[in-house]
Amino acid sequence: MLLSEMKEGQSGRIVRVGGSGVLRRRILEMGLLKDTEVYVEKYAPLKDPIELIVKGYHVSLRVEEAAHITVDSLR
């Protein structure tokens, strides 16, 4: 499943970070690495961006960027 398809309150483990170039590097620098657990805190009122909790801190990603990240659902 893609990170952009997860619902509020769901957790998942990152399986693969797609994309290329600057976008992929930016995602990896934010700590969204393979085997990292992520929790979908909430979506903005218009469903973009998405707020995640990764390694104890909050990260916001555009839904378009989250579509490049593949996850396995934990809950």
Residue 75's nearest CA partner among 43, 32, 38 is 38
Contact 66, 20 (CB under 8 A): no
Domains of the chain, earliest start first: 3-73 (2.30.30.90)
DSSP state of 47: S
Segment 5-29 mean pLDDT: 92
Q: Please state the pTM of the whole predicted model.
A: 0.87
Query: Rounded distance, CA 12 to CA 37, Å?
Result: 6
Provide CB contacts within 8 A for 5, sequence distance 6+: none
pLDDT tens digits for range 27-53 = 999 999 999 999 999 999 998 899 999
- pLDDT value at position 75? 64
